[in-house]
Structure 1
């Protein structure tokens, strides 16, 4: 008898003379209410996600919204950090860290991200709760859907969809609020003063939330999310997965509580199908590991409750590994997991270093098209255009200097005041006595130092052009 996780071929047989339809119509899933340890964990994780998503947008930092993707000005505020287009590599680094974090947790504990903190799952559970509040539990909803339309049914359906739309609207409004300050956005939306694009995007994300969490639900996880497809290549025999123990459970069958079921050749599974009734994707975990399983552990909670009522040990369905099911030792430290952990730590270190050491002042110098000219004092003069970008969230005064040639004179205001997040452009003139020019083309360096912190220094190289020396 095989002791590995059972995998069953669920492909429907093709009838002779008929083409196999690869696209089956969706069958509505009616989930049953349940309680348990993992449900409470999922509620905590969902609560944290809701708090971060809906709460962060209302925080202020440095006189503006704490997290604000200011697209018109191409400035992205993340609390005390301002990210400019020149710093997009840092955003790429954040995404890379998130990706390797996802890879690491998947190798270690399977699809816990999907089951506990994925927005699609969290919002789906909220919408399912709205269904339960307005239409009742599983059997009541099934009976309601089969019944003809009445005033009671219409009222319940209207209440459910109204709650869905309200949640969708708040979700969409919050999302747009990260790109357009939420306080101003709300006032403009409800007074009719917002732009057409604001109304469009709030409406779009309202309908997207309503459709994804209310109607598509598991279809998003099964058919639209790429993570469900490539997760299998990341699993190994030591990955924690939700699995049914056939050694304990088989042979299945109903029985009375006080009957010696072992004498009848029955296992611990009483075939109550509670694990199927609570599953948000509608699968039977007893059929083995399936791509539809999001690792939410709803079936574990439901099965443990039944085991308690029958006075059987818990764990018929549990988080386990393929090695554990086959009676072997589970290895926590293995090459793939260690590799992902090492890369993750390396990327976190590099990203942290990049954030800490990045310059908070941008400095660019471009020379005027006129190569040179002679001023009223007979000196050779070059004109430059300087652009100073203050990436910090407070005002700074910078001290300008130029070097590279003996006798080089800077003819401009040396102190440059730049407001928080501002860019200042100004013309600058350099002059030299003709007899002091070593050649017609000379390298020079502009230096910009912070008046408050002289350790902050940036340089920009350019050239000083003079007449041809014979």
Structure 2
């Protein structure tokens, strides 16, 4: 029993420990974060990328297709219009496949490049930056906003604060109206809302989403990312040592500290200094208020603001850029980043398979659906002519957006008599119900239950033949 089990010290050690001064309190996540504006390639890319998606969000509900709103998720009519495509509750599996593909695409991107979704595409991030931009235009730069909040209320402070909140409310209201416009005709929505003639539920939803936008982007901001959004909590499951994240090069940056600009970069090592001048700009520009020099943290949204800020400082100091950069744990430890790895390949494989299934379902999807409902009052009845008659109700769903004429026929029953309309016209997106009766002589029936088929067919304007063959039973005895 003289052998001892070796014990490894795994106590986490941070690169930079706060000194307990006012600076650490100022940058604490429990206090308000005053985000400093930053410029650089990543910031420009994020803005343009956000403008594209913001423009799509604002424009799509205003587009028209075939005389109707091109994108409309009509919950009352239980149909979704996506330009030439109309989806019904029967197409719910398509929606499930879309969500599965989107989920695995998110997993794939996260495994490869970390939380770039949060930093560049998330609506919370996009609207937060819009609200911060409004705050900067009305209240000034970071230091001006901090000084303004410390001042007692006067006319200038009241005017700036009021102007900011009015602008926030306007943006939040337009956002809510646009979002609700995806679920109800948007042109009528704007007119009815501003003329106080919209319905109760429509008004309620607009006010609800406006309040959510105002609260999330104006007040909660980083709290949504750090405490409420579940993605920040389970993202670490998808990370590995080859995942690209925003990282601080410890070996190059330490020992940090201020120094005059005249010291050449080649002499820093002789003086025991690293490249980091401890300017704290990387902290000031971070929308979640973290210090990336403390290592990877779940609050980091990979927006790259600290990279642009640090590169700007390095350029002014005539130091090489990249002290903070997108890199992997393996690369930071002196190795190489492996792009192709089992986890990434697995996510890509599942995403491609599900995308193939989704495309196949779209291509095989029929623009016609038929349901047959038997008369529940009686199994069959005998007519005055001595024929056996069964009564059905045909529900014809025209999934296209054009008016179609359908022909109805029956097979599987000899010498039958069709009672009802055999040619019907159904408008686009309409469910048409038609009662029909099928009668035949009892001598033609050898079994109590005979399987028959209703044929419903049409020919589109493009010459395409669409036909549905739906089985049902003809009962006797």
Same-fold call, TM cutoff 0.5: yes
Counterpart in the other structure of 2:25: none
Instruction: Find the counterpart in structure 1 of residue 392 from structure 2.
Output: 384
* Secondary structure at 1:57 match in 2: helix
Quick one: structure 1 residues 372 and 454, their matched pair in 2 at CA, closer, same or farther if it must change by over 3 Å?
A: farther
Aligned to 1:428: 436
1:443 to 437, 448, 451: 451
Output one character per residue of 1:253-284: Cα deviation in whole Å (capped at 9) or x when no partner.
10011124332110000000110010000000
Return the offset for 1:456.
Answer: 1.8
Structure 2 CA distance, aligned partners of 1:412 and 1:90? 35
- Which portions of structure 1, spanning 4 or more consecutive aligned residues, are displaced by more than 4 angstroms? 9-12
1:217 alignment partner in structure 2: 221
1:271 matched to 2:278? The reply is: yes
The number of equivalent residue pairs is: 452
* C-alpha deviation, 1:142, in angstroms: 0.7
In 2, distance between residues paired with 1:211 and 1:113? 21
1:254 aligns with 2:264: no
Residue 458 of structure 1 pairs with residue 458 of structure 2: no
Residues 177-227 of structure 1 deviation map (CA, whole Å, 9 limit, x = unaligned): 111111001111111110111221111111111110010000000000000
Cα distance in 2 for residues equivalent to 1:27 and 1:47: 30
CA distance in 1, matches of 2:76, 2:68: 15
Q: CA deviation at 1:86?
A: 1.0
Q: Map of 1:18-417 to 2, 5 A cutoff?
A: 26-259=30-263, 260-368=267-375, 369-417=377-425
Listed one character per residue, the Cα deviations across residues 332-366 of structure 1 (whole Å, up to 9, x for unaligned) are: 00010011011111111100110111111110112
Seen in structure 2, the aligned counterparts of structure 1 residues 420 and 10 have a Cα distance that, compared at 3 Å, is farther
Deviation at 1:374, TM superposition (A): 2.4
Partner of 2:14: 8
Measured in 1, the distance between the counterparts of 2:305 and 2:459 equals 60
Which sections of structure 1, spanning at least 5 residues, go unmatched?
1-5, 13-23
Distance 1:403 1:26, change over 3 A: same
**Counterpart secondary structure, 1:456:** strand
Would you say the 8 A contact 1:399–1:451 is kept in 2?
no
Provide, for residues 218-252 of structure 1, a one-character-per-residue CA deviation record: whole Å limited to 9, x for no partner.
00000000000000110011100000001110000
Q: TM-score, normalised by structure 1?
A: 0.93
Distance in 1, Cα, partners of 2:46 & 2:408: 56
Deviation at 1:62, TM superposition (A): 2.1
Higher mean alpha-carbon deviation, 301-310 vs 85-94, is at 85-94
TM-score of the superposed pair, with normalisation by structure 2: 0.92
1:361-414 residue CA offsets vs partner (Å, 9 max, x unmatched): 110112213222222332222111111111111111111111112212322222
In the alignment, the residues of structure 1 paired with residue 363 and residue 349 of structure 2 have an alpha-carbon distance, to the nearest angstrom, of: 21
- CA shift, 1:9, in A, is 9.9
RMSD of aligned alpha carbons: 1.8
Q: Distance in 2 between matches of 1:211 and 1:451?
A: 53
For 1:18, the equivalent position in structure 2 comes to: none
Q: Distance in 2 between matches of 1:175 and 1:8?
A: 43
Q: Are the equivalent residues in 1 in contact too, given 2:247–2:296 (CA < 8 A)? A: yes
Q: Distance in 1 between matches of 2:29 and 2:143?
A: 22
Q: Secondary structure at the match of 1:257?
A: coil
Q: 1:87 & 1:266 partners in 2: Cα distance?
A: 64
